[in-house]
Structure 1
Amino acid sequence: MGSSLWKLSAPTTAVMIAQTFVAIAETFIFGRLGTDALAGFALVFPLMMMMTMMAAGGMGGGVAAAMARAMGAGRRDDARSLVLHALALGTGLALLFTLLAWTVAPTLYRLLGGEGRSLEQALTYSHVLFSGSLFIWANFFLSALLRGGGDAATPGRYMLFSSIAQVPLSYVLALGIGDWPGFGMAGPAISSLATSAISALLQARALWGGRLGFVPALGGLSLQGRLFWDILRVGLIASFSAFTANLTAMLVTGLVGRFGVAALAGYGIGVRLEFMLVPLAFGIGSGLTTLVGVAAGANDWRRAVRAAWTGSLVAGLGIGLFGWIVAIVPEGWARLFTSDPQVIAATVAYITHVAPFYCLFGIGMTLSFASQGAGRMTAPFFAGIARLCIATVGGWFMIESLDWGLHGVFTAIAVGMIAFGSLIAGPLLFHPWRARA
């Protein structure tokens, strides 16, 4: 059990750790561009993370789980056909996000408090990034197909190299070099698209090279509703969970925006820390999706439950430790990205309220990925809704009725995080997964 989880989780975890450092570096780059750039990125960040979480952990999780169950049950022809179905689905979703970025997103950023220069910076970054979203979806879906087939090393290797290259490329494209001033806010977006495209091409070459023991077929196949449903029955609910998580971030951003640009920039730095932990949970969780999916395909539910608890407790311990360390030195973390005292104060307030509960966030996230493999998404669905209601309605109540101000918003976020982890772990603890009658 431990060796299998390590084999499936270690490569992706390495990539996600690299992505965490990429996130830190890019926040530093935005800080070099100024407070308006930090605030602008905070406006785009929830929508960007919604797409990333859907591509990697929502619909991507559905793709990996479908492939794992097909391989575990020995349905080789279905596994070959799933490649076509996944790529068709990914193309449609990429085009949808591109359309939303050019039509709905500008209004959304204004509703979240964007105005003036910060709104201009947000739109620059958003238009570039989402116009090339097809590269991002292809990168994550090809990775999901390989991981679901039991090969986490290949996508892990290519995505690690692309992550390492992304930081210096973002720096140069954003801030320039020599006499060239760079592209500003557009630079990191261009860097993200370029590295995603290269990673996707390398993964496609490996997949069509027979890495999973077969060569995918795109021609001569008809699209089948049952194979789309095999992806969507997990992917839709997992994506809804990603949607509620990011809707929570958007609505909370709107609440924070009522306290000014400095509060918004500070919240952007603080919440960036939370979303940097999502990739760490994804690293272990992606391994659980495959491991639990294969066990579920073979109808070995005891092994599936044991794998889910092993991975989630490891993730909770690691992520919780990181949160506690940052909570002890919150001002030092804030000063990595800004010297504005008001921005630092807002960042410190967020971290001290929320970071101590990252352990429950880690447990909840990894068990959500394990639930994808099991095809049991009820608990993550309701946990996401509970977190949304507590963080947003609770935050509004603490501002309007209790007059707790910005600290009230951050308290509500913390309580929502506690509820999220508890409502996913509790049902599995008292009613472990079993074969359906």
Structure 2
Amino acid sequence: MFESTNGSKRRRDIVAFTWPVILTNLLHTLTITVDMMMLGQLGGDLGRDAIAGAGLGGQVVFLSHSIMMAVSAGTIALVARHTGAGDREKAGRVMEQSIVLGILLSIPLTLFGWFLGGQALGLFGAEAGVHALGEIYIKYVFMGTIFSFFSFILGAALRGAGDMKTPLAIALITNAVNICGNYILIFGRLGFPAMGVQGAAIANTIGFLVGALAYVYLLFAGKLVIKLPALRKWFDKEVIRRIMKIGTPAAAEQGVLQIGFLLYTAIIVYFGTAALAGHQIGSRIQSLAFMPGMGFAMAATALVGQNLGALKPDDAEESGWESTKLAVLVMCAIGIVMFIFAEPMARLFVDDAETVRLAALWMRLQALAMPAIGIHFTLSGALRGAGDTRWPLNVSIIGMFVVRLPIAVLIGFMLGIGVLGAWIAFVIEYNVRAAIIAWRFKKGAWKTIKV
């Protein structure tokens, strides 16, 4: 155990790492939430269908992000390890090859979104009007894949090196452009036609374009904490192999989750458009509520990786546990707020009484899972920082396909409880996840993994 002074310093380090990450993720998620709120202001059935369509489209978009996770997870773990060892040259090489890999992967994904996104959306079995709006959303968001990948990967590299503030500054720019674009293009301001869902998607792409251009300027002006290597290699097989060795399980984890989310959403769709719209609203609030947990997870990833690089495995373990304690405290507070103010938050999106009732019910159930979510997120991040990305994958498979989906079907359909049963399954799942991931971290096998 460490003395209290060391513990206090560690907590300060964790908070210093965490708050810019929380704000960065919060800004991205807040922008999606503002999208939904503005679409809801279209009013009546149109607003409800726009929220449902964009929400379904977003599920397909997030599935593509599982591929981006392969690069960013490998990037942050390797950059953190090299930074902890004091080797900035190798950290720069990892960043360089991550950019190359991200660009190469984004091209086929853009083509997929434009030509096949509608077919993927058909898996939900949504009503025709909702499907049509979702297809429009997918096409125009996927146009910005190369820009979003570039931004996420650069942000991961900088966080691995300990720079949490530059990604925050870029996020401020990206999301300010996005929100302004939403207002102009959704409602038709400043001489532009009112585009609704299409306008929200185009604004998203423009925002990421501006953010990517800001990163390009900082990168080639030499203003980032990590520099590109003096001798450029446009495709370094060994570095890319190391990135993908760590990142592939992380990508598989995200892929598993997104497929699970698609199936889970298909269950929700069965209970009607009001249930789906309520689910999408509650999920947008959930995304905001998750941000502190994700912030502590990112801090744990960077601190564990850097401490292992500096050959301090005990410090790495203490950083993981301390990050988790702080995450649970914050997530509990968020859960209390969600439980108390569920209905007023739902009314920010729509005025349909049934949709508000269902969204509030969904949020209150999520609130019960917040402590477990804090544990799961943070310790999963700690394991990723050590390069132990297979266990978060294993836990995600168990949580989604052994716990959540079967219980949702059992309680929701077979016992006749309806959409409430599907949402109860979510609470059970995260408690199971938290227990397994805590057991894995406590064992300590991750301390000897070579990256």
Q: TM-score by structure 1 length?
A: 0.92
> Which of residues 12, 23, 27 in structure 2 aligns to 1:3?
12
1:183 Cα deviation (Å)? 1.9
Indicate the SS of the match to 1:434. Answer: helix
Alpha-carbon distance between aligned partners in 2 of 1:435 and 1:45, rounded to the nearest angstrom: 38
Q: Which residue of 2 aligns with 1:145?
A: 157
Residues 41, 268 of structure 1: 8 Å contact kept: no
Instruction: Describe the shift of the 1:50–1:321 C-alpha distance in structure 2 as closer, same or farther (beyond 3 A).
Output: farther
Q: What residue number does 1:416 align with? A: 429
Name the counterpart of 2:7.
Answer: none
Match of 2:358 in 1: 346
Return the alpha-carbon distance in structure 1 between the equivalents of residues 226 and 188 of structure 2: 45
Q: Conserved in 2, the CA contact under 8 Å of 1:146 and 1:207? A: no
TM-score (norm 2): 0.89
- 1:170 matches 2:182: yes
**Unmatched 5+ residue regions in structure 1?**
none
1:188 lines up with 2:200 in the alignment:
yes
Offset at residue 222 of structure 1 (A): 5.8
Tell me, what secondary structure is at the counterpart of 1:177? coil
Distance 1:249 1:320 in 2: 24
SS in 1 for 2:388: coil
1:26 equivalent in structure 2: 35
**Match of residue 425, structure 1, among 438, 442, 445:** 438
Quote the Cα distance in structure 1 between the aligned partners of 2:180 and 2:376.
Answer: 33
Please list the CA deviations of residues 87-146 of structure 1 after superposition, one character each: whole Å capped at 9, or x if unmatched.
121112212322332344322322212232111110111100012210100111111122
Q: What does the per-residue CA deviation read over 1:351-405, in whole Å, with 9 as the maximum and x for residues that have no partner?
A: 2322211221122112222211111123311210122112112212223322221
The answer to whether structure 1 residue 399 and structure 2 residue 399 are counterparts is no
1:13 aligns with 2:22: yes
Does the 8 Å CA contact 1:364/1:425 hold for their aligned counterparts? yes
Q: How many residues align?
A: 436
Q: Whole-Å Cα distance in 1 between the matches of residues 115 and 290 of structure 2?
A: 28
Would the alpha carbon gap of residues 412 and 76 (structure 1) be closer, same or farther in structure 2, given more than 3 Å must change? Answer: same
Counterpart in 1 of 2:4?
A: none
Displacement of 1:257 in angstroms is 0.7
Q: Which residue of 2 aligns with 1:328?
A: 340
- Give the equivalent residue in structure 1 for 2:5: none
Q: Structure 1 residues 286 and 153 mapped into 2: Cα distance closer, same or farther (>3 Å)?
A: same
Match of 2:49 among 8, 31, 36: 36
The separation in 1 between residues aligned to 2:144 and 2:415, in whole angstroms, is 44
Q: What does the per-residue CA deviation read over 1:141-192, in whole Å, with 9 as the maximum and x for residues that have no partner?
A: 1111222222222222221232234223212211122664422112222222
Which secondary structure state, in structure 2, belongs to the residue aligned with residue 409 of structure 1?
helix
Shift of 1:406: 1.2
Change (3 A) 1:436 1:375: closer
**1:47 aligned to 2:60?**
yes
1:213 is displaced (CA, Å) by 5.6
Given that residues 219 and 227 in structure 2 are in contact (C-alpha distance below 8 angstroms), is that contact kept between their aligned partners in structure 1?
yes
Deviation at 1:300, TM superposition (A): 1.1
Q: Check whether the contact 2:369–2:431 (CA below 8 A) recurs between aligned residues.
A: yes
Instruction: Summarize the alignment of residues 256-271 of structure 1 with structure 2, pairs less than 5 Å apart.
Output: 256-271=268-283
1:37-436 equivalence runs, <5 A: 37-52=50-65, 55=68, 58-177=70-189, 180-211=192-223, 215-217=227-229, 220-221=232-233, 223-389=235-401, 390-431=403-444, 433-435=446-448
Distance 1:430 1:217 in 2: 38
Q: CA RMSD in A?
A: 2.3
Once the two structures are superposed, what CA deviation does each residue of 1:7-38 show, in whole Å capped at 9, x if it has no partner?
33222222223334323322211212311101
